[in-house]
Structure 1
Amino acid sequence: MTHGVALQRVALHTRLKPGKEAEYESVHAVIPPELDEALREAGVRSWRIWRDGLDLFHVVEVEDYAKMRAALRDHPANIPWQARMSELLDVEDDYSGGDSGLGLVWELP
């Protein structure tokens, strides 16, 4: 349980390769159960993705974003998933694990 654990909310931006929109949505219709389990074990509580054309915007609620990325980097459930995503996403937006998300500009208090 996450009672008492402050969650980080991290926004991400990735970009699809042209013509991969429908395939990306189809692949995300149901993610593999082992990936779902790995994400949850790594502290992810919520991951939402919106699409505008080729642009993808993600909001991740996680206990510790950097720790989650490190835990998933070589996870057996994540490796084939990221290989599949590399077929759909622009090369510059690969899963390197070194990012800290988009910087927050404004939030309604």
Structure 2
Amino acid sequence: MKRQAFKMFLKPGCEAEYEKRHNEIWPELRQLLKEAGVGNYSIFWDRDTNILFAYQEVSGDQGSQDLGTTEIVQKWWAYMADIMETKEDNSPVSIPLPQVFFME
């Protein structure tokens, strides 16, 4: 099991909508993530910076940010593009964070 963390950027004033959309995550997207081996997926919001910190555990070869070739992920990115900082293809600006400490 690999642990992955990354940060993304929420647009100011969009925190309630971001949380609402994730509370209503599409069942087909949830299924895709599980089938890809993504679990224990959490996203935290730093209200001082509007940075979103994401953590996930991955048992397969791809994390959530590697599934952008799928139709459902591309639709999700388009759905989220109005409330997050994104690239030209609507994928979120996502910066991987290297692990520097782990304690079991």
Q: Shorter-chain TM-score: which interval?
A: 0.7 to 0.9
Match for residue 103 of structure 1 among 92, 98, 104? 98
- Residue aligning to 1:83: 78
- Residue aligning to 1:18: 12
Q: 1:44·1:62 contact (CA, 8 Å) conserved in 2?
A: yes
Deviation at 1:19, TM superposition (A): 1.2
Q: In 2, Cα distance between the equivalents of 1:46 and 1:88?
A: 24
Structure 1: segments with no counterpart, 5+ residues: 1-6
Secondary structure of 1:91 counterpart: coil
How many residue pairs end up in the alignment?
100
Deviation at 1:74, TM superposition (A): 1.9
- Residue aligning to 1:34: 28
Q: 2:38·2:63 contact (CA, 8 Å) conserved in 1?
A: no
Q: In 2, Cα distance between the equivalents of 1:28 and 1:69?
A: 15
Larger radius of gyration: 1
Q: Return the structure number with greater helix share.
A: 1
24-33 or 56-65: which moved more? 56-65
Deviation at 1:90, TM superposition (A): 1.4
Q: Which string of whole-angstrom CA distances, capped at 9 and with x for unpartnered residues, describes residues 10-63 of structure 1?
A: 011111011111110111112000001111111112211111111111101012
Given the superposition, is the C-alpha separation of residues 95 and 107 from structure 1 closer, same or farther in structure 2, using an over 3 Å criterion? Answer: same
Given the superposition, is the C-alpha separation of residues 83 and 65 from structure 1 closer, same or farther in structure 2, using an over 3 Å criterion? Answer: farther
- Where has structure 1 moved over 3 Å in runs of 4 or more? 64-70
TM-score, L = length of structure 2: 0.79
- Residue aligning to 2:41: 47
TM-score, L = length of structure 1: 0.76
Structure 2: segments with no counterpart, 5+ residues: none
